[in-house]
Structure 1
């Protein structure tokens, strides 16, 4: 008697061409939707100013004009803001990584008294803050108002980063730490000579989070830095994109023509500045890519 073989409904079938086509199509569509806004800004920045002002550019550049980039490269104020941003990013990223490591390591020491209470204490300001006005008064009382420290110091400690690094440190085998202590290592030697060299993934995650966050930050400069010479690049972008305006009613005919030409250029200039200020962050990511995914997963999921 031949028994009929029943097909298992829970069996996973592989190699379906139709499913592969659907998945690839969905991935391509999602990539296009994600990348198109940045592509749109790029083609707007190199198209003819008249076409840009008329909003006739959608898929390919119309005309070719690099005058906006030439204006950017010749703008001394932009380069000054660029140098300020490099200072903020470098100092902020280094201090953020250092504070995260120094804050996370003691929380992994098992015989530290009150360790659990310290973790609870850190979680409170993570969810509840004093608000803008108390922070402004504190910055002013500390003498940091209208100085670079007003942007660097308040953001150098991130509780979320400390928790990420602490979670990563707990995945390091205890035997490695014990062997270091047997060899006569102190806590500082253990941290900087043993733990940090094998913690590159989570350090890379903290570094790229810090770099991107500080690079895109402008609100702190708006509140604490009235001196334009201290403004970062994003604040410069804010002034160009949001605050720039021309009143044509008060101009003569010839001046009006020049003003209209300047307005056409200024419309395109906004797109060029967006590209110019975004590219450095995009180019930064590939250097951390091999550590980023591993560090993000280990630091945030494994407990």
Structure 2
């Protein structure tokens, strides 16, 4: 094994230092938020809480987990993410499979139309009028229907499908398999990496979306937890007047002087972030293969 020269070792050291500093700057804000969520709010307001909780407490999480509105918002977020991701991936994959067929009439016209929608949008006001005319205001389906098709994901799916051996479909056709059978029995089971990658991207988009509910949802029972967190950050008030916590939680906050708006906000951030952190390691191994699909030549 060739020994590294002084310049090479110096370069390696500089790279490691740079990566350590970069990792620290990326991870420290999250770690500090976690520490603050486990520290009493009055102690945090005094400053100096950095790497470890100085006055450990679970009261912040007790308030969060005992609030009915937040629990309902968490349920809405989970339901939206699961249902929205499954339906979006399925509908987009079906569309992409159809676009791989050379005998599809008007295929190039459809493709041009789809690509135009990637760069040209109708705007917020026309979208609002459309959603209202469809009767999706204060409707759970407003989280699902508008995001059923992603043109970018369709292009990635289409590229992956065209890279599969043509002999698979030919053999299935000889055996009398229909297009639906080929899709669900052959194509879809072989698309694990791209489904996992695009599925995670779609799930993150659903999970982190707070803007759409703030426009189309006024019913408190349908507000996801991300929108509640945004409202909390904007108001910075943890009382019954903030519209986030119910009366029972507000009274607890008033009685418990160790809790502040910042400590509760950090606890909410951890509750919102935790599900994605748990899911990510299970699909990470598909990332390299799945992300590179879009760069393959057709």
Report the TM range for the smaller structure's normalisation: 0.7 to 0.9
Out of 283, 287, 291, the position equivalent to 1:288 is 283
Between the aligned partners of 1:262 and 1:221, the Cα distance in structure 2 is 32
Does structure 1 residue 200 correspond to structure 2 residue 195? no
Does structure 1 residue 276 correspond to structure 2 residue 268? no
Measured after TM superposition, the shift of residue 292 of structure 1 is: 2.2
Hey, what does 1:164 align to over in structure 2?
Answer: 156
Hey, what does 1:240 align to over in structure 2?
Answer: 232
User: 3-state SS of the aligned residue for 1:242?
Assistant: helix
Tell me if structure 2 keeps the 8 A contact 1:44–1:61. yes
Hey, what does 1:96 align to over in structure 2?
Answer: 88
Number of aligned residue pairs: 281
Measured after TM superposition, the shift of residue 62 of structure 1 is: 2.1
Between the aligned partners of 1:143 and 1:74, the Cα distance in structure 2 is 33
TM-score using structure 1 length: 0.86
Measured after TM superposition, the shift of residue 50 of structure 1 is: 2.1
Hey, what does 1:63 align to over in structure 2?
Answer: 55
Gaps of 5+ in 2: 240-252
Hey, what does 2:260 align to over in structure 1?
Answer: 265
Does structure 1 residue 123 correspond to structure 2 residue 115? yes
User: 3-state SS of the aligned residue for 2:136?
Assistant: coil
- Coordinate RMSD, CA, aligned: 2.1
Hey, what does 2:244 align to over in structure 1?
Answer: none
Out of 26, 48, 62, the position equivalent to 2:18 is 26
Of stretches 220-229 and 285-294 in structure 1, the one that deviates more from structure 2 is 285-294
TM-score using structure 2 length: 0.88
Measured after TM superposition, the shift of residue 55 of structure 1 is: 3.4
Between the aligned partners of 1:87 and 1:276, the Cα distance in structure 2 is 16
Measured after TM superposition, the shift of residue 263 of structure 1 is: 8.8
Between the aligned partners of 2:238 and 2:70, the Cα distance in structure 1 is 20
Q: How does 1:160-239 map to 2 (within 5 A)?
A: 160-239=152-231
